[in-house]
A and B are shown apart, each in its own frame.
Chain A
Amino acid sequence: MGTIDWDAVQTADQVQRGEISAAECVEAALSRIDNTNPTVHAFLHVDADRALARARFMDHNLTRETKANLPLAGVPVAIKDNMVTTDMPTTAGSKILEGFRSPYNATVVELLEQAGAIIVGKTNMDEFAMGSSTEHSAYGVTRNPWDLTRVPGGSSGGSAAAVAARMVPLALGSDTGGSIRLPASYCGVFGIKPTYGRVSRYGLIAYASSLDQIGPLARSVRDLSRTLHLIARHDAKDATSLDANTILEAPIPTALQSLRIGLPEEYFGEGIDVRVRTVIEKTLDRLRESGVDLIPISLPHTRYAIATYYLIAPAEASSNLSRYDGVRYGLRVVGDDLIHMYQNTRQEGFGPEVKRRILLGTHALSAGYYDAYYLKAQKVRTLIRQDFDNAFEKVDLIVTPTVADLPFKLGERDLDPLQMYLTDIFTVTTNLAGLPGLSQPIGLVDGLPVGLQWMGPPLAEDRVLSAASALEAILPSPEWPLSGGIQ
């Protein structure tokens, strides 16, 4: 066991107690990145010098008392490349932002660094977070550390792969339709999308503003709690940021039997890979054996969620992405006049999936189609929310598979957008309803990880984290991949 095997809490504890220096932790992470990133390609950018300088500063200049007040002292952290950083490039996986250097830091970046975290780099992602496989990055694919011929999931695939391959114990991702939980499931790590509005999105490059939310990926539940405790704060710079109770620094020990846990029939029907189903059923049996009463419930509008999402998200994206026009930042491709400059810039700067979604969203919002598409989707969104309101009158939490299948092969779905879209069927619902959702690794089948999803009512992160922590305690410790045979 070396430092790369520690979770963030253990790393910070050891640094705080002076058992190990922050520089040693960062050096170990950087060396692991050197060894594994060329094959996994989780990072788009690594700033070793800056990370080491900050770690050495912490080691040499901070007293033990000061470090004791830094909950992430010396913890190497990766940031998805759609959160802006002044000291590193930010591309959002797009050619249109190549060379962009933000004049300010995202709030989450500031909060993590204030807590002693050492940001080592920026992770790969589907361009503008549009995708479920990280294959839609303009800078190459990320490979699943469990099987390098398979996708890590997306869009936060770089962050999930970096945590799974033990390059870093902790990473931030963003989740618009499942982009934290899906890669967490495919890579066998923990990931949580908090309640909409929990974490400030100041400095998060917008995809679909009524759905986007930032959250952590890690190798333990307690790491998710500690990170959310630090970053789920009200921020005046984000008008959608909630002024709510703080998430507890550690999950409260909870007896699972005291919770009413619902199993929605719509998430256990046809279409689930039989191997995934076996692992999920085994975990549900363990819950039953420990005295949990699993209550059958129904979320009847689940089957409409993907259709709803693929109107709302592209519509919002088409508006958000209008800012990439070659005027103020990013790529500019010359044209005869302003309109042609816009068109040439966007044509060259955006990849095929981003263009598809811009076209779909523009169509859904265009004259004559708005009511039939966008307004219709917003109404169905209300029905999906009401499903959850009704369910949470009967149960405290809901449990589902995170995703219906195992990580698929690279290239398997990128020719069929609809097939790719359907990957998110179990995760988009919490985005549409604004609820917290957590994916937890529960075991392997054929050497590939399976994830279980917890969903809770708005602001019930503490309950979700406590339940996940209690389940974590009764399951065998998760395994971590060799990352393509690289020890």
Chain B
Amino acid sequence: MNLTEKEVRHVARLARLAISSVELSEATQALGRVLDYIDLLNELDTDAVPPTTHVEAIETVWRQDRVVPSLSPEEATANGPQVSSQMFVVPKILDGGEG
């Protein structure tokens, strides 16, 4: 299946990647080649085959609702690029987004 630069730009936006025009053309080519290869799967009739989401037989794992020691707020925020009063600071969200 051929992929256009427009489609790749759309996917890049979904993935929050501001890729350059050089990267866009390279990625379109590389992904196109990989998707061509992946077309191989269409040789197989899988209508009656159930999907494998996970190889283990285990179901949802439950645990006791018990309070155990965990990271302090200082530790949990220690790697934040910008932190104030134990909160992560981010640029404003409203106004000026690309929508």
Chain A interfacial positions (CB closer than 8 Å to B): 100-101, 103-104, 196-197, 210, 236, 239-240, 242, 301, 303-304, 306-308, 310-311, 318, 322, 325-332, 334-344, 346-347, 350, 352, 355-356, 358-360, 362-363, 366, 373, 375-383, 385, 417-418, 421, 432-434, 458
Determine whether the beta carbon of A358 is less than 8 Å from that of B17: yes
Distance (Å) between the CB of B9 and the closest chain A CB? Answer: 10
Q: Residue on A with the closest CB to B74?
A: A103
Determine whether the beta carbon of A373 is less than 8 Å from that of B95: no
Tell me the complex Cα distance, A383–B46, Å: 9
Distance (Å) between the CB of B99 and the closest chain A CB? Answer: 9
Tell me the complex Cα distance, A318–B80, Å: 22
Choice from B15, B46, B50, B55 contacting A358 with Cβ under 8 Å: B15
Determine whether the beta carbon of B14 is less than 8 Å from that of A366: yes
Chain B interfacial positions (CB closer than 8 Å to A): 3, 7-8, 11-12, 14-19, 23, 26-27, 30-31, 33-35, 37-38, 40-44, 46, 49-56, 58, 61, 63, 71, 75-82, 88, 90-93, 95-98
Determine whether the beta carbon of A344 is less than 8 Å from that of B56: no
Determine whether the beta carbon of A356 is less than 8 Å from that of B56: no
Q: B92 to chain A: which residues have CB within 8 Å? A: 337-338
Instruction: Name the prevailing secondary structure of the B interface residues.
Output: loop
Tell me the complex Cα distance, A359–B81, Å: 26
Choice from A307, A318, A330, A336 contacting B41 with Cβ under 8 Å: A307
Tell me the complex Cα distance, A182–B82, Å: 40
Choice from A337, A347, A383 contacting B19 with Cβ under 8 Å: A347
Q: A341 to chain B: which residues have CB within 8 Å? A: 90-91
Determine whether the beta carbon of B95 is less than 8 Å from that of A337: yes
Tell me the complex Cα distance, A307–B97, Å: 37
Choice from A196, A358, A378 contacting B56 with Cβ under 8 Å: A196
Determine whether the beta carbon of A360 is less than 8 Å from that of B17: no
Q: B38 to chain A: which residues have CB within 8 Å? A: 307, 310-311, 373
Q: B82 to chain A: which residues have CB within 8 Å? A: 332
Q: Residue on B with the closest CB to A358?
A: B15
Determine whether the beta carbon of B91 is less than 8 Å from that of A327: no
Determine whether the beta carbon of A378 is less than 8 Å from that of B34: no
Determine whether the beta carbon of B16 is less than 8 Å from that of A343: yes
